[in-house]
Amino acid sequence: MKVAHIAAEMAPIAKVGGLGDVVGSLSRALKKQKVDTFVILPKYKIINTQCIKNLKIIKNDLKIFEKNKWQNNKVFQGYVKNVKVYLIDPEKHYFNRDKIYGYKDDVARFLYFCKCALEFLKSNIKDIDVLHLHDWHTAFMAPYYKEIYSKEEHLNIKSIVLSIHNLGYQGQCMAKQLEDIDVNPKLFLHSKKLGHPKKPKTINLLKGGLIYSDAIIPVSPTYAKEILTKKHGHQLSPMLKKFPKNKIKGILNGIDYKTWNPKKDKSLAQNYSSTSSIETILKAKELNKEKLRKYLNLKDKNVPIIASIGRLAEQKAPKLIKHAILKSLKKNAQFVLLGTPFSKEISHTFHKLKRDLKNNRNVSINFKYDECLCHMIYAACDFIIVPSIFEPCGLTQIIGFRYGALPIVRKTGGLADTVFDLQNPKIPKNKKNGFTFKNVSIEELDKTLNRAIKFWYEKQEKFQTQIKKNMKINHCWQKSIKKYIAIYKRLIK
């Protein structure tokens, strides 16, 4: 079975958020199950080539007709932790920039990439069992293949799968943008296809991916249900609800157990594992706290550390995160934030907060993504807080488990599938692992944060046994990968 993953990110070579982690670890997990897998990505300027083995040019002349001109592209091939990757390198100034996204011409850049990927598959690979797309950036490949490429002779794709890491980003654009890549927009404009139901000249690339794919995989079972509701369906729920039941199947993400392994993690002051005694784990976490506090210039004192790690986007409820910081300080806890602001407004709020708290040595606000610091925080913190408005899966709570941190989360998407409240009598004892609240509300967040901090101060022994229990929760890819393979097999039968 030959499976091609096409995506905008892949950790560790090109990552903005969870999408990158998942494309990296999922492709590796497939490879381990002996599925013939490769990944195609743009060759960004910022790609981390140190993590690519045997990188070489395999094609010099991938020609693409765009904006009435022939554009030339190179294709590189290499291996990222044993997974074959192809990197598309346009001569055009599309990916040779300082960031992966966030440009006015993002739609044009990724439409161009979709065309390059299909042209490359046509010239160099030819037969593919599963074309696996991720999010809006590559979703257009599904309608593009089925309406155009499949009618030619040279490319044969048996089935198309689309993973949804975030339904909120859809790649809406004017239909005439398709003309730039030499595609007739009329083919797709109908509202039953990519067309916007109310704006006659607008198309939606993700919608096209959803309609033309053979299977849709949201990244958790709860998110798969949520996208059918008005609240989380981002205008697409009426259509999604009409799809055959077995077209949408939520599968929970795993994490890469090699990357996230407190037993071997080189960023830690002291390694530890779920099989160590509680005393050893505590001692190690203590040393890791010491290292983190020194590194971030936090006061060295015996209080809990609460952490928030990830993109600071609207979806992540930045207002609640800000509130959690201030509240933690009042309640005698320390707070560490590692996050990249995703809008000017959010950036402004958090930079101001950082300035206001400049002299407070119980809080550390960090904007630059720093992989090593990220590992240090997981190993040191007592709680990971994720109050998201919606969260397709969420990886930080899962990594938190593995490093012996207790999650404080809002019950949504993958957070609802993985975190179970320690103080809810209705939940079976062996499932309990953190603190949860239901609504996006400051009061509910407050109460939950209070419960967590109180638990740390008053039930220290229980807290300690819970750390060890959490470290044993298994979220490696092995379980989920079987579900992916089952879908692939069903589709190509």
Q: Which two tokens stand for residue 290?
A: 């010491």
Report angle CA 200, 107, 46 to the nearest 5 degrees. Answer: 170
Stretch that binds ligand GLC, among 111-119, 329-337, 386-394, 437-445 (CB under 6 A): 386-394
In one letter, which amino acid is 300? D
Q: Strand 2-6's sheet: what is its strand order?
A: 53-66, 69-80, 83-90, 36-42, 2-6, 127-134, 156-164, 215-218
Is residue 26 a contact point for ligand GLC (CB under 6 A)? no
CB of 47 to ligand GLC, least distance (A): 19
Report the residue from 166, 170, 213, 288 that binds ligand GLC according to the rule CB under 6 A. 166
Is residue 392 a contact point for ligand GLC (CB under 6 A)? yes
Stretch that binds ligand GLC, among 89-97, 261-269, 392-400, 458-466 (CB under 6 A): 392-400
CB of 394 to ligand GLC, least distance (A): 5
Q: Strand 383-386's sheet: what is its strand order?
A: 363-366, 334-341, 305-312, 383-386, 406-410, 435-437
Q: 102 in the Ramachandran plot: left (φ > 0), alpha (ψ -120 to 50) or beta?
A: left
Select 393 or 471, whichever has its Cβ closest to ligand GLC: 393
Stretch that binds ligand GLC, among 11-19, 177-185, 234-242, 462-470 (CB under 6 A): 11-19
CB of 60 to ligand GLC, least distance (A): 34
Is residue 391 a contact point for ligand GLC (CB under 6 A)? yes
CB 73 within 8 A of CB 116: yes
Is residue 8 a contact point for ligand GLC (CB under 6 A)? no
Report the residue from 7, 19, 30, 452 that binds ligand GLC according to the rule CB under 6 A. 19
Rounded Cα–Cα distance for residues 491 and 44 (Å): 33
CB 171 within 8 A of CB 137: yes
CB of 18 to ligand GLC, least distance (A): 3
Q: Within 13 A of 291's CA, how many CA atoms are on the CB side?
A: 21
Is residue 18 a contact point for ligand GLC (CB under 6 A)? yes
Report the residue from 24, 304, 394, 404 that binds ligand GLC according to the rule CB under 6 A. 394
Is residue 480 a contact point for ligand GLC (CB under 6 A)? no
CB of 428 to ligand GLC, least distance (A): 25
Is residue 78 a contact point for ligand GLC (CB under 6 A)? no
Select 17 or 404, whichever has its Cβ closest to ligand GLC: 17
Q: Which two tokens stand for residue 159?
A: 């089935």
Q: Which helix (H) or strand (E) holds 445?
A: helix 442-458
Rounded Cα–Cα distance for residues 447 and 441 (Å): 10
Is residue 219 a contact point for ligand GLC (CB under 6 A)? yes
Instruction: Looking at 258-395, list the stretches that DSSP marks H as alpha helix, in order from N- to C-terminal side.
Output: 278-296, 318-330, 344-356, 371-380
Q: Which two tokens stand for residue 292?
A: 């983190």
Select 155 or 337, whichever has its Cβ closest to ligand GLC: 337
Rounded Cα–Cα distance for residues 309 and 398 (Å): 12
Number of residues forming the site for ligand GLC (CB under 6 A): 14
- List, in order, residues 6 or more apart from 302 with CB less than 8 Å away: none
Question: Which residue number has the CB closest to ligand GLC?
Answer: 18
CB of 16 to ligand GLC, least distance (A): 8
CB of 25 to ligand GLC, least distance (A): 10
Stretch that binds ligand GLC, among 14-22, 62-70, 99-107, 153-161 (CB under 6 A): 14-22
Is residue 393 a contact point for ligand GLC (CB under 6 A)? yes
Is residue 400 a contact point for ligand GLC (CB under 6 A)? no
Nearest to 180 by CA among 90, 94, 112: 112
Is residue 9 a contact point for ligand GLC (CB under 6 A)? no
CB of 309 to ligand GLC, least distance (A): 12
Rounded Cα–Cα distance for residues 397 and 11 (Å): 18
CB of 166 to ligand GLC, least distance (A): 5
Report the residue from 376, 395, 399, 406 that binds ligand GLC according to the rule CB under 6 A. 395
Rounded Cα–Cα distance for residues 351 and 365 (Å): 9
Three-state secondary-structure class, residue 175: coil
CB of 396 to ligand GLC, least distance (A): 8
Is residue 157 a contact point for ligand GLC (CB under 6 A)? no
CB of 369 to ligand GLC, least distance (A): 14
Select 189 or 415, whichever has its Cβ closest to ligand GLC: 415
Rounded Cα–Cα distance for residues 328 and 450 (Å): 9
Q: How many residues does the chain have?
A: 493
Report the residue from 165, 249, 410, 475 that binds ligand GLC according to the rule CB under 6 A. 165
In one letter, which amino acid is 274? S
CB 191 within 8 A of CB 217: no
Is residue 17 a contact point for ligand GLC (CB under 6 A)? yes
- List, in order, residues 6 or more apart from 186 with CB less than 8 Å away: none
Is residue 387 a contact point for ligand GLC (CB under 6 A)? no
Site for ligand GLC in 245-284 (CB under 6 A): 253
In one letter, which amino acid is 208? G
Chain contacts with ligand GLC (rule: CB under 6 A): 17-19, 22, 165-166, 219, 253, 391-395, 414
